[in-house]
C-alpha cells in the first residue's frame, strides 16, 4: 500500500486513509462466518463514504445498505444502490423523510412503534405502493451480560416483546403496510460466546412471537454486534464456531430457513469498515505543563472521536514501531477547548513538531461521527487506496453552511 508519509505530503493532514483491500478482507471474513443463506446489511452510520459503500457492494457476495436518514439514503444511491437494496431504520422517522425514501424506491422498513408503522403506511399509500415493515423487537429478556446492551431495558428502540401480540391485529390493518417479519439488535461489539448466546435467544424469541402472536415471518434480521477495535491497534473479532451454531439454532426453531422461509439477515458497520482506516495527523507543537507532556496534533475531536464526550471511546492508542522507545504523553487536538483530547497519558514514540502520528483502526465512526463543524476547521481529507493506487480523494465541505434564502429585508 502507498505509504502514509507519501499520502500526507500529497493531500495534507489530518488525513484518513482507507485500504479497500482490507475492506474486502473484512467482508469475506464476515460472510464466511455466517451460513451461506444469510444476507448482510452494511450499516452506513459506521462510514457513509460512497466509495466504501460501493466497494462493499462488489465481489461475489454483496452487502445491502442499512440506512437511518435521507442523507444516508443519498450516500447509498450515490454508491450505486437502489432503494430496493436498502433497509430503513430508526425510531423517529418523519413523514417528510418517509415520503422521500418511498419515492426513491425504499420498500423495507424497520419500525419501532405503532406511530412509526402508520407513518410508513401513509407515505406508501400516498405513492400508491405497499411497504414491507419489520417490527423491531426489544426482548424483555437477554442472554449475554457483556458488551453494549441494546435490548432488555426500556428504550426508544423497538416494540417491547411482551406487547407485540396485542398490537399485531391492529398493525395488520394499517393501509399501505405489509408486516414482513422482525428485526433485533441486542448487542454491540461482542465476543463470540456473547454473540452466539444472544443470537440463539433472538431466534427462539422470533419463532415464539411468530407462532403466538400470529406475526408473519417472511424476513428476520437478527442484528449484528461483531467486534472490531476502534482507534487502537488490534484485529477484528474471531467467530470460528458462529456459522455452525447459527445453523443449529435455526434448524431447531425455524426449520424451513434454508429454503428462504424466512429470509435471514445480519448487519454490521464497525466490523466491516473499522480496520480499513488509519487516521494520519501531524504534530503541531509539543509542550510540558507542570511535569506532563502534551503532544498537540492537527486532528481533534472535530476529526475523530466526537462521541468521546459520552465517555465511551477514549483513549486512542498510537501505532508504535516494533522495539521502539516510547514515552507517556497526552495526545490533544488543536481546538480551543480543554475537551479536545484524543488520549490522556498514553504511550507515544518520541515526537517532534511536524512528525506524523498514525492512529489505526479508524475506518468506522470517523469524520461523520465527530464534531465536524465545531470551530469551523476544515474537514479531514479522505483517501481510498487499493494497493499502490489512489482510488479517490475527497473532503466534506462544511464551511459554506448558512443558507441566505430568507434574508431580512430590514438588514441585521
Domains of the chain (ranges, CATH numbers): 34-273 (3.20.20.10), 277-394 (2.40.37.10)
What are the CA-CA distances from residue 351 to residues 16, 331, 356 (Å)?
A: 20, 11, 8
Catalytic residue among 81, 133, 266, 336: 336
Cβ neighbours of residue 391 under 8 Å, at least 6 residues apart? 20, 51, 384, 385
Statement: the pTM of the whole predicted model exceeds 0.85: yes
pLDDT at 314: 58
* Residue count of the chain: 412
DSSP secondary structure letter of residue 3: -
CB 86 within 8 A of CB 64: yes
Grid coordinates representing 157? 428502540
What is the CB neighbour count within 10 angstroms for residue 216?
17
Q: Would you say 258 and 334 are in contact if contact means Cβ atoms under 8 Å apart?
A: no
CA distance 246 to 358: 38
161 versus 106: which is more confidently predicted?
106
Q: Which ranges of 220-304 does DSSP label H, i.e. alpha helix?
A: 242-253, 270-273
> Is 190 in a helix, a strand, or coil?
strand
Share of the chain above pLDDT 90, in %: 77
Q: pLDDT-based confidence at 188, cuts 50/70/90?
A: confident
Mean pLDDT of 150-164: 71
Task: Please indicate whether residue 133 is annotated as part of the active site.
Answer: no
Would you say residue 408 has pLDDT above 80? no
407 class by beta-carbon count within 10 Å (0-12 exposed, 13-18 middle, 19+ buried): exposed
Query: Does residue 132 carry a pLDDT above 80?
Result: yes
Apex CA 27: angle with CA 21 and CA 32, to 5°?
A: 125
Amino acid at each position: 500500500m502507498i505509504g502514509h508519509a507519501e499520502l500526507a505530503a500529497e493531500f495534507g493532514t489530518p488525513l484518513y486513509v482507507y485500504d479497500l483491500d482490507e475492506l474486502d478482507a473484512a467482508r469475506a471474513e464476515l460472510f464466511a462466518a455466517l451460513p451461506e443463506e444469510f444476507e448482510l446489511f452494511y450499516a452506513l452510520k459506521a462510514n457513509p463514504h460512497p466509495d466504501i459503500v460501493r466497494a462493499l457492494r462488489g465481489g461475489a457476495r454483496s452487502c445491502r445498505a442499512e440506512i437511518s436518514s435521507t442523507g444516508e439514503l443519498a450516500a447509498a444511491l450515490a454508491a450505486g444502490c437502489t432503494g430496493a437494496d436498502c433497509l430503513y431504520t430508526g425510531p423517529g422517522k418523519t413523514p417528510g423523510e418517509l415520503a422521500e425514501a418511498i419515492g426513491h424506491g425504499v420498500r423495507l422498513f424497520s419500525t419501532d412503534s405503532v406511530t412509526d408503522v402508520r407513518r410508513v403506511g401513509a407515505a406508501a399509500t400516498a405513492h400508491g405502493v405497499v411497504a414491507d415493515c419489520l417490527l423491531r423487537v426489544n426482548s424483555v429478556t437477554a442472554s449475554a451480560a457483556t458488551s453494549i446492551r441494546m435490548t432488555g431495558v426500556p428504550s426508544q428502540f423497538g416494540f417491547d416483546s411482551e406487547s407485540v401480540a396485542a398490537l399485531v391485529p391492529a398493525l395488520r390493518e394499517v393501509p399501505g403496510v405489509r408486516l414482513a417479519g422482525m428485526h433485533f439488535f441486542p448487542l454491540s461489539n461482542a465476543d463470540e460466546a456473547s454473540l452466539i448466546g444472544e443470537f440463539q435467544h433472538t431466534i427462539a424469541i422470533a419463532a415464539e412471537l411468530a407462532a403466538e402472536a400470529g406475526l408473519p415471518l417472511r424476513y428476520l434480521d437478527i442484528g449484528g454486534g461483531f467486534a472490531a477495535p476502534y482507534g487502537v491497534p488490534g484485529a477484528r473479532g474471531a467467530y470460528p464456531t458462529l456459522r455452525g451454531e447459527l445453523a443449529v439454532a435455526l434448524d431447531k426453531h425455524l426449520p424451513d430457513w434454508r429454503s428462504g422461509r424466512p429470509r435471514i439477515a445480519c448487519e454490521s458497520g464497525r466490523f466491516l469498515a473499522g480496520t480499513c482506516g488509519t487516521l494520519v495527523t501531524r504534530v503541531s507543537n509539543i509542550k510540558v505543563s507542570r511535569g506532563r507532556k502534551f503532544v498537540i496534533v492537527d486532528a481533534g475531536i472535530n476529526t475523530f472521536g466526537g462521541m468521546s464526550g459520552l465517555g465511551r471511546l477514549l483513549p486512542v492508542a498510537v501505532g508504535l514501531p516494533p522495539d521502539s522507545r516510547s514515552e507517556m504523553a497526552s495526545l490533544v487536538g488543536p481546538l480551543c477547548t480543554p475537551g479536545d483530547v484524543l488520549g490522556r497519558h498514553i504511550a507515544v514514540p518520541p515526537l517532534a513538531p511536524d512528525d506524523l502520528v498514525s492512529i489505526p483502526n479508524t475506518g468506522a465512526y470517523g469524520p461523520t461521527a465527530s464534531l465536524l463543524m465545531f470551530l469551523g476547521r476544515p474537514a479531514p481529507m479522505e483517501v481510498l487506496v487499493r494497493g499502490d493506487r489512489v482510488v479517490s480523494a475527497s473532503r466534506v465541505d462544511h464551511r459554506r453552511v448558512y443558507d441566505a434564502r430568507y434574508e431580512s429585508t430590514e438588514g441585521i
